[in-house]
Structure 1
Amino acid sequence: MSLHVPNLPEAEIHVWQLPWDSDAASSSSIRDLLAAYAGPDAPEVDRGEHGKPLFRGQASMLGFSWSHSRDTALFAVGRGPLGFEVGVDVERVRPRVRAIELAQRFFAPAETEWLKRFTGDDLLDGFLALWTAKEAVLKAHGGGLVYGLHRVGFAPDGYYLAPADFDGDIGPASAWQVGKLELGEGLVGSVAWRGESRSVRVFTFPV
């Protein structure tokens, strides 16, 4: 499939929202998007130490990531220095009666205390905002959930989550940008990248 995508300057991150199901067509759409951004001379996709898909060599200036939840997927892509890291995560909103219990298990104490200020839908939104922000960073880094949600700490301020305490080789937190995505009702998503601030543009697939 020949797919036209917008020009991707280094000052932007592009995020595509697309339908997802278990058939091959959904995976094919993501491959088509990646191929359109990478160009005809791109090498084969390789895997990092923990299984993260990536390009090697000069092609690693193009970073990419994808995530899916139920019927929706996100694909994020950006250009930067060699080994550019970008990650994205999406969650479909559904009741989570154990949100505080999960936060106490996987989040930092200050993050859990922040969540305890909320109830009902506000609690769920806050929990998912934190979860997706953490996962987006972990996917960009490549360590995934195995690296540990607790090692990616945020300083909540209202509904804004500022990177605050990133542990190990994922740090320092000041080197990262994390943004909440506006995806429509019933979805919460975040995108993260290591580097300077950029504009995030969200597109809907198919074009």
Structure 2
Amino acid sequence: MNHDVPDLHDDEIHIWRLPWGSDAAGAPPFQALLAAYAGPRAPEVARGEHGKPHFPGAFGALGFSWSHSRDTALFAVGRGPLGFELGVDVERVRPRARSLELARRFFASAETAWLEALAPEDVLGGFLGLWTAKEAVLKAQGGGLSYGLHRVAFGNVAGHLVPDLFEGPVAPAASWQVHTLDLGEDLFAAVAWRGERRSVRVFTFPL
């Protein structure tokens, strides 16, 4: 791999789309991309209480996250204050007959009501949009699914999901940016970070 990556400015989030095979997360090319952004002096990646990877010390200003679904993976990276919270999630479209059942069990009641009001052919897209947005936030915060999907609730404004009511350490919702990624009809994806708005740049690996 070419270890040169585009300059990462403080007002940007970089997203890399990569092919996914049998390699485990953290192995190349994730590892090579992370090393290229962090530089040769970066310490070993540490793990938080719930397994979230991060750099310790001063290198903790570089936030990163990865996700994969079937043959596609995403790697997200950005710089911010120490402990910069950044998360990404991707899901490939496949039939999910139990989408509404899962929403009733795990989502906030207002989100479930919104899904129930959709036309049947739109339910799966609505479900996956909510799922990836929630997962991106929970990956950024580090609590994962055990935190509770219902505690990260989104509203729908003119067809766009917006943070609405976040509970616990992830609150307040207004402190978060959640950006839907347009990767094609077969994929739903979202990136989330705590802080001010930034531009999101998407690259395909390799450049």
TM-score by length of 1: 0.96
Q: 2:4 aligns to what?
A: 4
What is the deviation of 1:25?
Answer: 9.7
Q: Are 2:114 and 1:114 aligned?
A: yes
| Superposition map of 1:116-131 within 5 A | 116-131=116-131
Which residue identity lines up with residue 34 of structure 2 in the other structure? L
Identify the residue that residue 137 of structure 1 maps to in structure 2: 137
User: Residue 163 of structure 1: SS of its match in structure 2?
Assistant: strand
Q: What number of residue pairs does the alignment pair up?
A: 207
2:75 counterpart residue number: 75
Q: Which runs of 4+ in 1 moved over 2 A?
A: 23-27
- Specify the code of the residue in structure 2 equivalent to 1:131: W
The equivalent residue for 2:36 is 36
Over 3 Å counting, the alpha-carbon distance change for 1:2 and 1:69 in structure 2 is: same
Q: Give the Å deviation of 1:123.
A: 1.3
Alignment of 1:144-163 (within 5 A): 144-163=144-163
How far apart, in 2, do the equivalents of 1:29 and 1:185 lie? 25
Aligned equivalents of 2:24, 2:179: Cα separation in 1: 30
Q: Residue type matched to 2:117 in 1?
A: R
Structure 2 CA distance for partners of 1:24 and 1:50, relative to 1, 3 Å: closer
The 3 A distance-change label for structure 1 pair 156 and 17 is same
- The residue number in structure 1 matching 2:19 is 19
Q: How does 1:170-181 map to 2 (within 5 A)?
A: 170-181=170-181
- Find the aligned partners of 2:25 and 2:87 in 1 and give their Cα distance: 22
More deviation, 120-129/95-104: 120-129
Kept after mapping to 2: 8 A contact 1:2/1:36: no
Q: Equivalent residue for 2:168?
A: 168
What is the CA–CA distance in structure 1 between the aligned matches of 2:118 and 2:68, rounded to whole Å? 27
Identity %, equivalent residues:
67
